[in-house]
Amino acid sequence: MSIEIGSKVQGKVTGITNFGAFVELPGGTTGLVHISEVADSYVKDVNDHLKVGDEVTVKVLSEKEGKIALSIKKAVDRPEGQSSYSPRPPRQGRDDRRGGGSRDFRSKGNFKPKESFEDKMAKFLKSSEENISSLKRNTEGKRGGRGGRRG
């Protein structure tokens, strides 16, 4: 039985490592659920979430050179648009304490379009040449070592 990428299948946990869990799929093939794909929350130790012999539903992410990448968290159906994690609460910065709320700098006309690499390089070359010529002017009269210009 060939495993189709994107399909959800039942499997059995056959081994647990510090980087994930090996799951035996139908047909005798084995795939890896990376530690980052075990649960929606942060997983410090895979053993806290899975045990050898557990039956799990996994989604097939990819198959390359006989290695099958699996995900448990992507196999869980969620309503459309619902995120798999809860967003971090907004930070309490200086502006929030004064009641200013969040600030969007672009809305106040301070937005500058991104410079292209060529524009940045031209600016750099110009300032670099100015710095070199200024350095040369300032160091020309100071050469000569001991017994230089004495007047």
Looking at the structure, give the CATH architecture of the domain made up of residues 8-75.
Beta Barrel (2.40)
Q: What pLDDT, on the 0 to 100 scale, is given for residue 66?
A: 84
Amino acid letter, residue 34: H
Q: What pLDDT, on the 0 to 100 scale, is given for residue 22?
A: 95
| Burial (CB count <10 Å: 0-12, 13-18, 19+), residue 58 | buried
Stronger pLDDT, 129 or 144, i.e. the higher one: 129
pLDDT digit string, tens, across residues 49-70: 999 999 999 999 999 988 999 9
Domain ranges, ordered by start, for the chain: 8-75
Side-chain half-sphere CA neighbours of 30 within 13 A: 8
pLDDT digit string, tens, across residues 65-75: 889 999 999 98
Those residues whose C-beta lies under 8 Å from the C-beta of residue 14, and which sit 6 or more positions away, are 22, 23, 24, 30, 52
